[in-house]
């Protein structure tokens, strides 16, 4: 099936771990301890190279990650896309915050659903929605691979990333990818419920961790979004979640594990996606890693993944 997750890609050996990252120590001591570091490394924020909430341009943020984490490997992973180095100058120059507070009043207004026939060449195709799509490269890579069989929608709260993603998809001539700048917490239901085709895959990949307990309510996955995903997903549709922060991954997992009458975990129906002893899917099932995933694995962090399938009992 065109919308099925891809078979697992082989994991590369971690032969070039970024030693200067303090997370390396944690991840070698116990694979199940997330790469959390005390904030004595101000430029490293919480863990791996999560950048703390500093103001920086998109370009500066990416440069920071490249300098401190994984030079060139994102470009290498997405080399197939052959994206132009240049992009809208607006994106490069405007300053954004690394972490956005999605509960800010101005971000609580749901996005209007677009005319789907205008944004996709064939608006009846199965849909994948990536919540918190970041730069959008991950979704573009998939859209290019499956240009006639699936549509891809990225929901991203930071408008400048969406501006650049739209610039790139025009440049690539992709007719099956679209990005909307919105708070997915408040817009997901309205957007997906108006889409004419079946919703076959929803991904939430390395969402912003919002470490402090009092900020957990800012995490993108909350009960209303879980309900909306589960209710709108077509039968046989899948949910793919992952994080390099165990606490965040567990938070998301608990929500989806709590609806066993509607969702089963993939290892019970598809032996090609094996799990470790704690039920985390061992390998990336998409054939391409997200940018956050690339950086985290480069630093030796474990990625905690779950893949669910909607079933009819």
Ligand X SMILES: C[S@@+](CC[C@H](N)C(=O)[O-])C[C@H]1O[C@@H](n2cnc3c(N)ncnc32)[C@H](O)[C@@H]1O
The residues annotated with a catalytic role in the active site are 208
Segment 196 to 215, residues that bind ligand X, using CB under 6 A: 205-208
Q: How far is the CB of 209 from ligand X (least distance, A)?
A: 8
- Which one of 34-42, 58-66, 265-273, 286-294 is the stretch in contact with ligand X (CB under 6 A)? 286-294
Q: How many CB atoms lie within 10 A of CB 308?
A: 24
Q: From the list 102, 237, 285, 300, which residue makes contact with ligand X (rule: CB under 6 A)?
A: 102
Q: How far is the CB of 206 from ligand X (least distance, A)?
A: 4
What does the angle CA 34 – CA 37 – CA 39 come to, to the nearest 5 degrees? Answer: 145
- By beta-carbon proximity to ligand X, the closer residue of 158 and 310 is 158
Q: Are strands 177-181 and 151-156 parallel, antiparallel or unpaired?
A: parallel
- By beta-carbon proximity to ligand X, the closer residue of 134 and 300 is 134
Q: From the list 34, 45, 126, 134, which residue makes contact with ligand X (rule: CB under 6 A)?
A: 134
Tokens at residue 231, please?
Answer: 């209710």
- Which one of 2-10, 67-75, 157-165, 257-265 is the stretch in contact with ligand X (CB under 6 A)? 157-165
Instruction: Find the residue with minimal CB distance to ligand X.
Output: 132
Q: If binding is defined by CB under 6 A, does position 154 make contact with ligand X?
A: no
Q: How many CB atoms lie within 10 A of CB 46?
A: 21
- By beta-carbon proximity to ligand X, the closer residue of 265 and 292 is 292
Phi, psi of 307 (to 5 degrees): -130, 125
Tokens at residue 68, please?
Answer: 């401190």
Q: How far is the CB of 252 from ligand X (least distance, A)?
A: 13
The 10 Å CB-count burial string (b at 16+, else e) for 135-152 is: bbbbbbbbbbebbeebbb
DSSP-assigned letter for residue 268: G
Q: If binding is defined by CB under 6 A, does position 49 make contact with ligand X?
A: no
Q: If binding is defined by CB under 6 A, does position 291 make contact with ligand X?
A: yes
- By beta-carbon proximity to ligand X, the closer residue of 98 and 311 is 98
DSSP-assigned letter for residue 47: B
Closest CA to 289 of 77, 71, 31: 77
Q: How far is the CB of 282 from ligand X (least distance, A)?
A: 18
Q: From the list 128, 129, 143, 157, which residue makes contact with ligand X (rule: CB under 6 A)?
A: 157
Alpha carbon 51 to chain centroid, angstroms = 17
Q: What 3-state DSSP class applies to 181?
A: strand
- By beta-carbon proximity to ligand X, the closer residue of 155 and 281 is 155
- Only one residue has tokens 């079946």, namely 198
Segment 214 to 253, residues that bind ligand X, using CB under 6 A: 220
Helices (H), 83-153: 89-93, 116-119, 137-145
Q: If binding is defined by CB under 6 A, does position 155 make contact with ligand X?
A: yes
Q: Which chain residues interact with ligand X by CB under 6 A? A: 100, 102, 132, 134, 155-158, 161, 183-185, 205-208, 220, 290-293
């Amino acid at each position: 099936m065109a919308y099925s997750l891809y078979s697992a890609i082989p994991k590369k050996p971690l032969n070039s771990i970024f030693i200067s990252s303090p997370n390396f120590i944690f991840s070698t001591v116990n694979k199940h301890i997330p790469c959390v570091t005390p904030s004595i490394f101000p430029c490293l924020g919480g863990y791996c190279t999560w950048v703390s909430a500093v103001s920086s341009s998109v370009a500066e943020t990416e440069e920071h990650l490249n300098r401190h984490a994984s030079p060139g490997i994102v470009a290498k992973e997405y080399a197939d896309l052959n994206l132009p180095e240049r992009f809208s100058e607006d994106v490069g120059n405007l300053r954004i915050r690394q972490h956005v507070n999605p509960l800010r009043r101005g971000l609580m207004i749901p996005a209007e659903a677009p005319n789907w026939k205008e944004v996709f060449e064939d608006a009846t195709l199965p849909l994948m929605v990536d919540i918190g799509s970041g730069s959008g490269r991950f979704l573009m890579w998939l859209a290019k691979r499956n240009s006639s069989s699936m549509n891809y929608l990225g929901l991203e709260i930071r408008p400048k990333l969406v501006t650049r993603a739209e610039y790139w998809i025009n440049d690539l001539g992709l007719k099956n990818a679209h990005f909307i700048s919105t708070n997915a917490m408040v817009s997901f239901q309205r957007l997906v419920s108006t889409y004419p085709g079946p919703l076959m895959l929803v991904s939430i990949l390395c969402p912003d961790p919002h470490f402090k307990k009092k900020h957990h309510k800012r995490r993108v996955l909350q009960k209303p979004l879980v309900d909306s995903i589960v209710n709108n997903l077509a039968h046989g549709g899948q949910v793919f979640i992952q994080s390099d922060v165990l606490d965040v991954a567990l938070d998301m997992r608990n929500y989806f594990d709590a609806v066993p009458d509607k969702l089963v975990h993939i290892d019970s129906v598809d032996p090609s996606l094996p799990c470790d002893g704690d039920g985390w899917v061992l390998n990336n099932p998409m054939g391409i890693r997200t940018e956050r995933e690339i950086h985290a694995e480069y630093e030796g962090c474990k990625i905690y993944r779950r893949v669910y399938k909607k079933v009819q009992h």
